[in-house]
Amino acid sequence: MADKFLNALKLFLYIQKSNIKTAFLSKADAAVNVIMMMVNNFSFIFMWWVIFENKGSVNGWNFGDMALLFGVMNNAFATFALFVRGVQQLPEFIDNGNLDNFLVSPRNSLFMVSVSESTFANWGDYLTGFLMFFISGHVSVENFFLFLLASLFAFIIMYALRVILSALAFWAADSQRLGDNIFMAFLTFSSQPASIFTGWYKVMFLTVIPAGFVSLYPVELIKEHSWSALAAMALGSTIFFILAVKIYLSGLKRYSSGNRFGVR
């Protein structure tokens, strides 16, 4: 088991090293892409700064809280886009039969699909995320480690949801657009002040579209050092990840039986 993990880690690091080398074939393009990603992020953050400057707070949330949310959100998405973005292409691989290329590998097929694509510009999201933490007003050594932990849990939730949405292609043809739209809705909900969701909206916010695990609980964890928020994030990320793997493996049985789309 340990040998398999180490081999997978070595392969992962080799792939990331190759991605970085490819991105830096044109250093100017790489730098521009990262800078433009940061500009795009801060244009969105500036809009919320203006709102909070005029409103003061939104249902108890201030700009410092939003800065924490943006920090966690950007770090989680950067991890997803840089290291496992290939899972977004899973529906295409299923529909055209190219998933076979990953199944013949001795390594885990979901792992191979996930690391098959990376977007270097998203290093700008990491820079944005850390900057937002340092301007949030909640800076301390302890909070920094809680920030990293919250970002990790948020990434796992994000990745698990994307796996579930992509795996729909095992059961329904042309599901790429549906999965992309739901994932974008998740990102949109995750970028809003969690305090605006109450009642049944909050239930949906934490279950159907689990955006609360990316916005509500991280802020509570970092601000209040809430053990309940930490437990909720740990439990939620574990459940969603296990569910995602089970759905993928269940769909894989259908694919391996020859019931794949595009076969003539």
| pLDDT tens per residue across span 57-106 | 777 788 999 999 999 999 999 999 999 999 999 999 988 888 888 888 88
User: Would residue 34 count as lying in a domain?
Assistant: yes
Q: Which domain holds residue 36?
A: 2-256
In a domain? residue 262: no
**Residue 249: per-residue pLDDT:** 94
The number of folded domains in the chain is 1
Q: Classify residue 264: in a domain, yes or no.
A: no
pLDDT for residue 234: 94
**Is residue 37 a part of any domain in this protein?**
yes
What mean pLDDT do residues 170-177 have?
A: 84
pLDDT at 257: 47
Instruction: Check residues 174 and 87 and name the one with the higher pLDDT.
Output: 87
Q: Which residues contact 137 (CB under 8 A, 6 or more apart)?
A: 64, 67
Q: How far apart are CA 15 and CA 39, in angstroms?
A: 28
How far is residue 144's CA from residue 27's CA, in Å, rounded to a whole number? 31
Q: Is residue 162 part of a domain?
A: yes
Q: What percent of the chain has pLDDT over 70?
A: 89
Amino acid at the residue 207: T
Task: Give the pLDDT confidence score for residue 29 in this predicted structure.
Answer: 81
Find residue 58's DSSP bridge partners. Answer: 61
Pick the closest to residue 232 from 209, 214, 208 (CA basis): 214
Is pLDDT above 70 for 203? no
CA proximity to 171, closest of 92, 89, 259: 259
Closest CA to 64 of 55, 52, 73: 52
The whole-angstrom distance between residue 221's C-alpha and the CA centroid of its chain comes to 19
Q: Using alpha carbons only, how large is the chain's radius of gyration in Å?
A: 19
